[in-house]
Structure formats: structure tokens, C-alpha cells
Amino acid sequence: MSEAMKVDKVMDLKGLPCPMPVVKASKGIKEVEVDQVIEVLTTDPGALVDFPAWAKTSGNEILETVQADGVIKIYIRRKA
Amino acid sequence: MKTNIAKKEVFEAPSEDTGKMREIEEQIAQLKSEVEALSADSPENKLSMVVFSGDLDKVLAALIIATGAVAMGMDVVMFFTFWGTPVLRDKRKKVGGKDFMGKMFGSMLPKGTGAVKLSHMNMGGMGTYMMKSLMKKKNVASLEEMLQLAGELGVRIFICEMSMDLMGFKREEMIEYPNLSFCGVAKFLEEAKNSKVQLFI
């Protein structure tokens, strides 16, 4: 994650299994403005496949995915 | 003379053109009506699901797909029929006035999400108990929680009127759900026909 990137909302979804990460992220992203960025923290390995699929279908953009110590950080820009 | 010829040309040319124009206009009109018919018939971004099963695992899967679909931006409709119907009974509600068979079915069928069993490995209830405690440990939402979430997300639920009647259930004994109605097969087919995705669970 580049230092310049501004995160407008952080969602800690650690410990929540399918379908919660995607369900909660889709709710949460509506609370920021279009073009703003949310950061999702999840421990669900399925999220690595699920979030790109969700973003593609819902019309949002995944900026970056970072994995460290069993936590997956996904940065998503609201587009829709 | 020159002007005469020119006039003639000008005069004749449009008559040929108007013929062509009319043809094109007719084609456009035909295309328009075809496109309108197509778009009226094209499926919406919607998931229609039949929940036939009353098994814990299958209903859970149905609700996970339903809530996930809302997250994907889809409109979701669930039709509970046959063994799926008793899952939506409210265990706190008691209704009277049932006939003998209605009472029998009422007591034999599960009363609500808390009473449903696994389709496999139930083992006299032990498997279901173990699965439920595992789900809790692993933070997997229970059926009750998933139903509540579905309600908050705007998932519409229809209950098959015929199943209700067959099993002797009354509308008053079903759960409180924000978007619950009762219907027959035609309603499901209408929704399914206009849905991009249809599932039978």
C-alpha cells in the first residue's frame, strides 16, 4: 500500500466467515462517497477469490490486496 | 432549359428518396418494437430460489447464497415450499383450531429454524448438536441470524400456500419477517422467468 493512498473507512471483519466479509463490505462501501477508499481486514482465505468477484459484479475497484500474519487487507475504491 | 432539367432532377430525386426513407422508417419501427419486446423479456439482475429442503445444512446454504447475492447487487426472492415451509414457523407462536392431521403434522415437523436437522450425520440429533456448536465456535452465523440478515438486506420470502395447507400450517404461526408473503407456483415462475439465476435447493 503506497503511503499516499488515503483510506476513508476501515472495516475490521476478522474472524467472520463466508458470506459475512462480502455482505458487510457491500454495506460498508455505501457509507463512503464514490471514489473514496475502504480498507477491509479479513481472515477468511476465501476472500482472496470472493472480493475480486464481488468487485467485478458490483462495479467497484480493488486497488490492492496485502497478506500478512493470516490477515488479508483489501483496499477497495467505491465506483458504483 | 437548364433550370427545367434541374427542376426535373430535383423533383424526381425526392420521390425515390421518400420511398427509401419510408422503407428505412418501417425497418426502424420494426427494430424498435423488436428491441422493446427483447428488453421486456430479458432477465433482471435477480436470483430466484426454491427452498424445498428443510435440512439445516441446505437452508443455511440457501441463505448464504441469498445474502451473498444481495451483496453482489442482486435482487433476491426465496420461495419456501414443502419441507422448507416448517423452517419458517415461529416456535413461540401457538395457534388453535387445527384438525387431527394438522395437529399431527404440526407436532412431527420441526417448529422453526432452531428445530431443523442436518441432512447427513444427524445421528439422532447428536450430529446436528455437534455441527451447531462447531458453527458457533467458528463464527458461522446460525439460521436465525442468517434469516434476520436476509430480512435486513431486503431478501423477499414467499411461502407456498399449498404446502401450508397440506401440512395444516396457519399464516399466524409463521415468523415475523419484513418481506414475507404467500403464493402459488405462478408467482415463482413469474419471478424465475425474469431472473438471471434460478436455484432449487
CA distance linking residue A20 with residue B70, whole number of Å = 12
Tens digits of residue pLDDT in B168-183: 999 999 999 999 999 9
Residues of B with CB under 8 A from a CB of A: 64-65, 67-68, 70-73, 138-141, 149, 153
The phi-psi region of residue A6 (left if phi > 0; otherwise alpha if psi is between -120 and 50; otherwise beta) is beta
Work out the pLDDT band at A2, boundaries 50, 70, 90.
low
CA distance linking residue B168 with residue B107, whole number of Å = 11
The residue-averaged pLDDT of B38-46 equals 87
Work out the pLDDT band at B14, boundaries 50, 70, 90.
low
Question: How many angstroms separate the CA of residue B95 from the nearest CA in chain A?
Answer: 35
Beta carbons of A48 and A71 less than 8 angstroms apart: no
Residues of A with CB under 8 A from a CB of B: 15-20, 22-23, 25-27, 54, 57-59, 80
Of A64-68, A74-78, B92-96, which gets the smallest average pLDDT?
A: B92-96
A23 with B140: Cβ contact below 8 A: no
The residue-averaged pLDDT of B71-88 equals 96
* Residue B138: φ, ψ to 5°: -95, 10
A23 with B67: Cβ contact below 8 A: yes
Count CB atoms within 10 A of the CB of residue B149. 20
Q: Which ipTM score applies to this complex?
A: 0.81
CATH match for B43-200 among 3.40.640.10, 3.30.70.260, 3.30.70.600, 3.40.1260.10: 3.40.1260.10
Which residues make Cβ contacts (< 8 Å) with residue B20, sequence separation at least 6?
none
* pLDDT of amino acid B16: 74
Give the three-class secondary structure for B134.
helix
Vertex B27: Cα angle to B24 and B31 (nearest 5): 140
The residue-averaged pLDDT of B43-72 equals 96
CA distance linking residue A61 with residue A47, whole number of Å = 15
Give me the active site residues of A, please. 18
Give which of A20, A54, A78 to mutate to test B binding, by max B Cβ within 10 Å: A20
Q: What percent of chain A has pLDDT over 90?
A: 86
Tens digits of residue pLDDT in A8-25: 999 999 999 989 999 999
For residue A24, the chain B residue with the least C-alpha distance is B71
Res B6 pLDDT > 70: no
Domains of chain A with bracketed CATH: 9-77 (3.30.110.40)
Tens digits of residue pLDDT in B86-144: 999 999 988 888 888 888 888 889 999 989 999 999 999 999 999 999 999 999 999 99
> Would you kindly state where each structural domain of chain B is located, as residue ranges?
1-42, 43-200
Measured between alpha carbons, how far apart are the two ends of chain B, in Å? 85
The type of residue at B126 is: M
